[in-house]
Amino acid sequence: MNTAEVRQWLRAARTIVLLSGAGMSAESGVPTFRDAQAGLWADFRPEDLATEQGFRADPRLVWDWYQSRREGVARVQPNAGHLAVAAFQQRHPGRLLVVTQNVDGLHQRAGSPGVLALHGNLAQDKWLEPPRRCCDPARLQEGRPPCCPACGNQRRPAVVWFGEMLPEAELAAAEAAAGACDLMLVVGTSGVVYPAAGLARATRGRVVVINPEPSALDDAADAVLRGTSALLLPDLLEE
Ligand code: OAD
């Protein structure tokens, strides 16, 4: 399968969904989940940090881990892949929808409108417990994590942790779009985490996987392009 043929499919597709994973941001310098195992937090398993149980056991540790990820993401820029997607959307309003598993906000910073962030957003916080009348995000007691000065309710990252449900409205919108689209680009995901990975299996449209390595969704693909997102997407999505 060559890129020229996929480019033809893209031209013919009225509606396109791009499902992205950590590999989409790799060339911006954001480590993928696999690569993160080698970094500063290599002594900790994401499963221990990215859970409500982990947060309750050691809120400061988990808060600090997310702060370090926030700082890391703030230092990087959207790459040529993110920018090519946003430019395509500007040229073809309403034709391509981004559904992402990434919490780094890079699609949004590149200018993609209406991104469905299935796993939440690193830049945002929310309450750990259902907010009481005293809980006001504009009046927080500083801390790691910050909390409500009256009742002590803690702020936590607004990301989906292991064992938690995905945001209902985003998932429903993603399922509807995936089911109905003519073409799905599956970019930079290992394809092992559901329900996101299931979107690629539920579509009636063609599926194109973009990944330099084998992924668990290769068997669902009509075409597999072995390459990186920052190299392939500009080539595929330009006029
Ligand atoms: P992974 O880290 O599991 O997989 C990253 C994928 O990107 C791999 O298949 C790599 O081969 C591929 N890749 C690496 N560099 C690339 C590049 N430059 N261009 C294209 N592909 C590249 O990340 P995800 O599949 O996104 O969930 O992980 C899915 C979910 O697992 C995450 O959202 C997270 C984690 O548990 C939650 O936090 C809820």
Cα 214 to ligand 1 centre (Å): 12
pLDDT tens, residue by residue, 114-124: 999 999 999 99
Domain boundaries 34-75+125-159, CATH class? alpha beta
The protein residue with its alpha carbon nearest to ligand 1, atom 8, reads 190
* Dihedral sign computed on CA atoms, order 86, 34, 2, 14: negative
Q: Is the CB of 50 under 6 A from ligand 1?
A: yes
* Ranges of each domain in the chain: 1-30+78-119+166-239, 34-75+125-159
* Dihedral sign computed on CA atoms, order 78, 80, 82, 87: positive
pLDDT band at 109 (very low <50, low <70, confident <90, very high): very high
The atom number, within ligand 1, closest to the CA of 164 reads 39
Q: Is the CB of 219 under 6 A from ligand 1?
A: no
The atom number, within ligand 1, closest to the CA of 162 reads 39
Q: Establish whether 82 is a catalytic residue.
A: no
pLDDT band at 239 (very low <50, low <70, confident <90, very high): confident
Residue type present at position 80: A
Model pLDDT, residue 45: 77
Contact indicator for 204, 37 with CB cutoff of 8 Å? no
What's the CATH architecture for 1-30+78-119+166-239? 3-Layer(aba) Sandwich (3.40)
d(CA 188, CA 191) in angstroms, rounded, equals 9
Among 24, 101, 232, say which to mutate for ligand 1: greatest number of ligand atoms within 8 Å of CB. 101
Find the mean pLDDT for residues 76-102: 98
Tokens of 59: 């809120």
Which residue out of 82, 92, 107, 119 is catalytically annotated?
119
pLDDT band at 41 (very low <50, low <70, confident <90, very high): low
Q: Is the CB of 190 under 6 A from ligand 1?
A: yes
pTM for the model stands at 0.94
Farthest-apart Cα atoms in the chain, separation: 61
